[in-house]
């Protein structure tokens, strides 16, 4: 214990005489350790965001969504399909017959068809670009949404192509401020809609800000505004999640039959293996698990990159220790001449090396926490459900990395100091 305390005192004195070099070595470690904290914190934030998405839509909801058929399997096929959609390809086969047949399944409690489009809306000369969420009255129950002012539209209004509209709370604030929007007229593509309600604040999920959307009857939008007869999604609420796999398979069978698609010969390995289907069916829980697996892989890649930055910082620590050993060679010779053992010398310089990395680790942890907190504040201000949380394994990993890198990169300079000949060391620089 006395040796360690003595080594700490010597280390602090050495740092005072090599302030610039020591600070640079600490900086390299600080960057790496702060990155570890940020990666773990971001992981917790993303998990809370995805969990909020599942909670918002309901864990008992299954979704059918359009996709471009692909000849490739797994993520390669998913990427090919996504790129095709981004390049403007369209799938127009998901129609009211699919919705009608899905509603007849015994385990389906309710379902609605969804069409989304981005449109310009105008009110008294003010123009806003927003997403139009075209749906039916079932949306309120399935998505667990609430109306703050007025009411939501009915199935009868959807069937009769009523030109009624419900505003997201953000759009209401932009267009009307504190005034009452009920019974005011808004134009969507120059088609007049009467405001009948305002949604409760819902915030953002992934890239969707529900508060900046408008909600209209899906048949009204299809027939009176955009001139289409298909959906981009069908969302179904189930009675019993114990039979979710069977229900999803029944939905696939219905849609393949309606779309004249032959079932694949091979068993589906993941939610991305949908072969030549022009749709994908996935439960919210399954989607969350897939995203969780994906993020775990991303986290490992990010930690590998962080490890590289720590190695660079470790090389900086090694260089500083070489300089310190070189400058203190006469002192090493004197200590050995008065009886210090090789292990004492090695311990002295290892303590100095570990102290550098530990200081960098502590500073990096504090900076990582502050940056993570700033990200949380920014994300929540933007309407995202982002929790500030740093798991204990982040601190354990940061501490272990600090100690291990201090020992690993300080070992060779410390060993070099320990093996010095005391006579040659005393004559150094003479």
Residue pair 141/58 in contact by the 8 Å Cβ criterion: no
The CA distance from 243 to 221, in Å, is 34
CA of 141: how far to CAs of 145, 236, 240, in Å?
Answer: 7, 11, 16
Residues 6 or more apart in contact with residue 338 via CB below 8 angstroms: none
Q: Do 43 and 136 share a structural domain? A: no
Domain co-membership, 212 together with 114: yes
Q: Which of 60-69, 83-92, 375-384 has the lowest mean pLDDT?
A: 83-92
Percentage with pLDDT > 90 across the chain: 30
Regarding whether 323 and 193 lie in a shared domain, the answer is: no
CA angle 340, 346, 348 (to 5 degrees): 80
Backbone angles phi, psi at 328, to 5 degrees: -105, 20
End position of a domain, from candidates 234, 258, 282: 258
Is residue 50 in a domain? yes
pLDDT tens string 133-142: 999 999 998 8
pLDDT tens, position by position, 44-74: 777 777 766 666 666 788 999 888 765 555 5
Among 258, 280, 302, give the residue marking a domain's end: 258
From 153-162, 268-277, 330-339, the region with the lowest mean pLDDT: 268-277
Q: What is the pLDDT of residue 87?
A: 46
On whether residue 87 sits in a domain, the answer given is no
Give the range of the structural domain holding residue 380, as residue numbers without chain letter: 2-54+290-426
429, burial (CB in 10 Å: exposed 0-12, middle 13-18, buried 19+): exposed
- What's the domain count of the chain? 2
pLDDT (tens digit, 9 = 90+) per residue, 392-408? 888 888 888 888 888 88
**Residues in a beta bridge with 214:** 132, 167
Looking at every residue in the chain, the average pLDDT score rounds to 82
Is there a contact between 112 and 139 (Cβ–Cβ < 8 Å)? yes
Q: Are 180 and 303 in the same domain?
A: no
196-221: pLDDT as tens digits: 999 998 876 666 788 899 999 999 99
Does residue 82 belong to any structural domain of this protein? no
CA 50 to chain centre: 8
**Residues 224 and 327 grouped into a single domain:** no
Q: In this structure, what token pair is assigned to residue 292? A: 């969780």
Judgement on whether residues 50 and 117 belong to the same structural domain of the protein: no
Residue 70, in any domain of the structure: no
34 and 132 housed in the same domain: no
Residue 136 phi/psi, 5° resolution? -125, 180
Query: Averaged over 11-26, what is the pLDDT?
Result: 67
What is the per-residue pLDDT for 86? Answer: 47
In terms of domains, do 251 and 297 share one? no
- Report if residue 67 sits inside a domain: no
134 found inside a domain = yes
């Amino acid at each position: 214990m006395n040796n360690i305390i003595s080594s700490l005192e010597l280390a602090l004195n050495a740092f005072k005489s090599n302030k610039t070099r020591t600070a640079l070595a600490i900086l390299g470690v600080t960057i790496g350790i702060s990155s570890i904290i940020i990666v773990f914190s971001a992981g917790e934030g993303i998990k809370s965001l995805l969990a909020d998405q599942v909670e918002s839509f309901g864990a008992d909801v299954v979704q059918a969504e359009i996709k471009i058929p692909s000849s490739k399997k797994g993520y390669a096929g998913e990427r090919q399909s996504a790129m095709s959609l981004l390049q403007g390809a369209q799938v127009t086969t998901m129609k009211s017959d699919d919705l009608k047949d899905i509603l007849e399944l015994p385990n389906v409690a309710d379902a609605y068809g969804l069409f989304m489009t981005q449109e310009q809306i105008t009110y008294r000369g003010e123009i806003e670009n927003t997403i139009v969420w075209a749906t039916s009255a079932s949306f309120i129950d399935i998505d667990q949404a609430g109306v703050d002012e007025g009411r939501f539209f009915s199935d009868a209004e959807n069937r009769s192509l009523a030109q009624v509209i419900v505003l997201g709370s953000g759009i209401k604030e932009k267009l009307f401020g504190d005034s009452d929007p009920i019974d005011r007229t808004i134009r969507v593509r120059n088609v007049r809609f009467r405001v009948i309600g305002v949604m409760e604040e819902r915030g953002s999920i992934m890239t969707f800000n529900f508060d900046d959307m408008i909600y209209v009857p899906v048949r009204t939008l299809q027939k009176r505004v955009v001139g289409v007869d298909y959906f981009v999604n069908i969302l179904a609420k189930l009675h019993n999640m114990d039979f979710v796999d069977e229900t999803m398979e029944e939905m696939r069978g219905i849609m393949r039959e309606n779309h004249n698609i032959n079932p694949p010969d091979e068993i589906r390995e993941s939610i991305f293996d949908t072969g030549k289907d022009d749709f994908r069916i996935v439960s919210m829980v399954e989607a969350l698990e897939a995203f969780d697996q994906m993020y775990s892989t991303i986290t490992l890649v990010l930690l590998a990159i962080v490890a590289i930055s720590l190695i660079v910082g470790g090389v900086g620590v090694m260089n500083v220790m070489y300089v310190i050993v070189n400058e203190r060679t006469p002192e090493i010779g004197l200590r050995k001449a008065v009886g210090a053992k090789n292990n004492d010398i090695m311990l002295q310089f290892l303590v100095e090396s570990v102290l550098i990395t530990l200081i960098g680790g502590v500073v990096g942890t504090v900076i990582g926490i502050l940056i993570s907190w700033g990200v949380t504040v920014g994300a929540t201000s933007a309407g995202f459900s982002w929790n500030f949380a740093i798991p204990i394994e982040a601190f354990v990993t940061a501490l272990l990395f600090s100690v291990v890198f201090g020992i690993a990169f300080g070992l060779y300079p410390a060993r070099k100091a320990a093996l010095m000949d005391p006579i040659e060391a005393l004559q150094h620089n003479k």
